[in-house]
Amino acid sequence: MRSALLLPALIATTGSVTAIAQIAPITFPADGGIVDVREYGAVADDEGDDTAAIQAALDAYPNGNRIVSLPPGVFVVRDTLRWPAGDGEGNAQKRTILQGAGESLSILRLPENTGTFTDGGKPKPLIWTGGAPAQRFRNAVRDLTIEIGPRNHGAIGLQFNASNQGTIRNVAIRAAEGSGKIGLDLGHCDEIGPLLVRHLTVEGFEVGISTKWPVNSNTFEHILLSKQRRIGWWNYHQMVFVRDLVSENRVPSIFNEKDSWGTVTLLDAHLHAINPEAPAIHNQRQMYLRKVEILGYRLAVNHDDKDRDKGDIGPPGLIVEDTSHKNVRSLFREVGDGTLAQSGEITHLPVKETPEVPWGDPAREWANLLDFGADPTGAVDASAALQKAIDSGSKTLYLPAGANFLFSTAVEIRGPVQRIIGLEGRFSADGTPVWSLVDGKHPQKLPDAPVVIIERMSNQSGGAEIRVRHESARTLVISSTTGFVVEGVGKGDLFLDDLCGHLDRLAPGQSAWCRQLNSEREGLKCRNAGGKLWILGMKAEKTGTLIDTTAGGITEVNGLFLYSNSGWNAGEAAFTVADATLNLFGVNERNFNRQPVTLWVRERQGAETRELVERPWVYLGR
């Protein structure tokens, strides 16, 4: 987990970034199909070169949905670690997860003055996870630190790429003073994303984070930047959706470069300058800001754009809410000159953090689905075995890697089980199997866990999906998964993190928080039928209404990217609203076939229906 290294006073001010103590190393069961780098010759803390051993572990299961595990200790790396290519493009650089034992516990270290990393004119990554096209499904880097030693001027900490679903979680990337080119590079090729970066620290480097190119959007939450030499965060072309950025720097915290489609949505940020001469934000394209606190800089925002609608924002202080351009639209309320202009008049939905579920001891508290009679070949339905495992009283159930479980009948999630984890493996679905989260129905009357998480698994590519019905008053989290359709019909909170799937329904009175929701089916993508729906980062493809909000529901979207390159049906609204509220902040579309959206919002309030044709950067409901 991440520890906050910057400015305790700042952290107290924002109230959003907190230190998270590492209690024990993250471990997995011995029969979980985990790939341990020690089995390939890597040795921690011995000063020997571990590059070949770690690379061999990565290469062992190309496109394998495998966790490559780094135990606690320091591992010396002297050349680029590359995601495996496999036997062709269909297997190349995808479904590979590099997993540490904890951010502060597992360390990959590039020693001082190492070979081809020393030339600042020829940047080179320590870790590379693949290039274009957008086929880098389910890649992840978790719970570790990357250290760049002195005099490695061309070193890039992590060149990451993931498509549809992929994540960086609880990672620190640090460079010695004067060393390092880029900390996190998400601009080394086109078509990176959608993906979720959460709990990332970047310390040092010339540039802390680089995001580039016009597809497919990147979502960030809980980011710490410090000691960059040129720019904290450099964005060009990309759609980035960011919440809780803390930056302590002598240089601009963010540069959103001109002559691009680059858009930045920034919420709940704190940007603090040691050197007062630079602007905190140098913006040359579209930007939406909310609750951005700026201290020490000469100027809060330099809106340096030849086509700009707004002047600079200064002096530093709290930016309550503002936009860079006059593209604020509404069908049922007055928006003045087309900008928010530090309004503070909009009521936003409250934000809840995704709850943590205790990891527990895999040796004592975890249960293997195979031990309950599940068929690992997928020839026989494993639903009955899953129900037995749920009812066994175990807190964590795991689907070991390397198996392919088939699910075709109904399952009830009940009792003490609090985690169903796939260990990154795949499943198949036949028909429309339903997993229902229910209350008070355990056969031995065992108490229900207050929070349940379903995480880290995927359906077969192009295969059927599992429907998860949230019928409970408890909290449900679905994280780092593909192949789930979620239906809220209860009262409990719902959290969707890094999900490639769909929210079919949110019930009246129910609340949902989504971070990086990727929905690519034909037809309606998301339905809010009376609940409160908050989204940070959504990406969608194919025709069909993106979000339908009805029955008094409230939907708030903070950053949305529509890739409509398959064409859009004429007369079909991207968003529909009926006697409800829809607020959109940071909406963008990419279309290269000259068939973009022609109707953005169709809103009905009472007996009156109105339509919005032009794309809004910000859209405000009634």
Lowest mean pLDDT among 91-95, 182-186, 301-305: 301-305
Tokens of 603: 């809103």
> Does residue 341 register a pLDDT over 70?
no
Give me the sign of the Cα torsion angle 520, 525, 531, 536.
Answer: positive
Please state, in angstroms and rounded to a whole number, the distance separating the CA atoms of residues 99 and 119: 29
Contact status, residue 240 vs residue 260, Cβ threshold 8 Å: no
* Mean pLDDT of all residues in 449-463: 94
Q: What is the mean pLDDT of the chain?
A: 93
- pLDDT at 346 (0 to 100): 86
Strands 601-605 and 608-612, bridge-based pairing: antiparallel
Contact status, residue 515 vs residue 196, Cβ threshold 8 Å: yes
Could you tell me what percent of the chain has a pLDDT over 90?
Answer: 85
- pLDDT at 470 (0 to 100): 98
Please state, in angstroms and rounded to a whole number, the distance separating the CA atoms of residues 579 and 172: 45
Strands 601-605 and 575-578, bridge-based pairing: parallel
Please state, in angstroms and rounded to a whole number, the distance separating the CA atoms of residues 19 and 8: 10
- pLDDT at 17 (0 to 100): 42
- Residue 354's alpha-carbon distances to 111, 351, 497, 513, 514, in angstroms, are 37, 9, 8, 8, 9
- pLDDT at 310 (0 to 100): 61
Burial of 57 (0-12, 13-18, 19+ CB in 10 A): buried
Please state, in angstroms and rounded to a whole number, the distance separating the CA atoms of residues 31 and 374: 15
Q: What's the pLDDT tens digit per position in 358-379?
A: 999 999 999 999 999 999 999 9
> Does residue 10 register a pLDDT over 70?
no
Taking the domains of the chain in order of start, what are their residue ranges? 8-249, 366-492, 521-622
Tokens of 463: 């295969």
* Mean pLDDT of all residues in 148-172: 98
Split at pLDDT 50, 70, 90, the class of 248 is: very high
- pLDDT at 566 (0 to 100): 87
- pLDDT at 26 (0 to 100): 97
- pLDDT at 233 (0 to 100): 98
* Mean pLDDT of all residues in 265-277: 92
Lowest mean pLDDT among 60-69, 88-97, 602-611: 88-97
Q: Count of CB atoms within 10 A of residue 350's CB?
A: 8
Q: Is the pLDDT higher at 592 or at 475?
A: 475
- Residue 244 corresponds to which amino acid? D
- pLDDT at 288 (0 to 100): 95
Q: What's the pLDDT tens digit per position in 459-479?
A: 998 889 999 999 999 999 999
Peptide bond connecting 315 to the previous residue in cis, omega within 30 degrees of 0: yes
CA atoms within a 13 Å half-sphere pointing along the CA-CB vector of 33: 24
Q: Which CATH number fits domain 8-249: 1.20.1440.230, 2.40.40.20, 2.160.20.10, 2.30.40.10?
A: 2.160.20.10
> Does residue 21 register a pLDDT over 70?
no
What pTM, to 2 d.p., does this model score? Answer: 0.95
Helix (H) or strand (E) holding 365: helix 362-365
End-to-end CA distance of the chain: 41
Please state, in angstroms and rounded to a whole number, the distance separating the CA atoms of residues 388 and 386: 5
- pLDDT at 88 (0 to 100): 80
Q: How many residues does the chain have?
A: 622
- pLDDT at 305 (0 to 100): 64
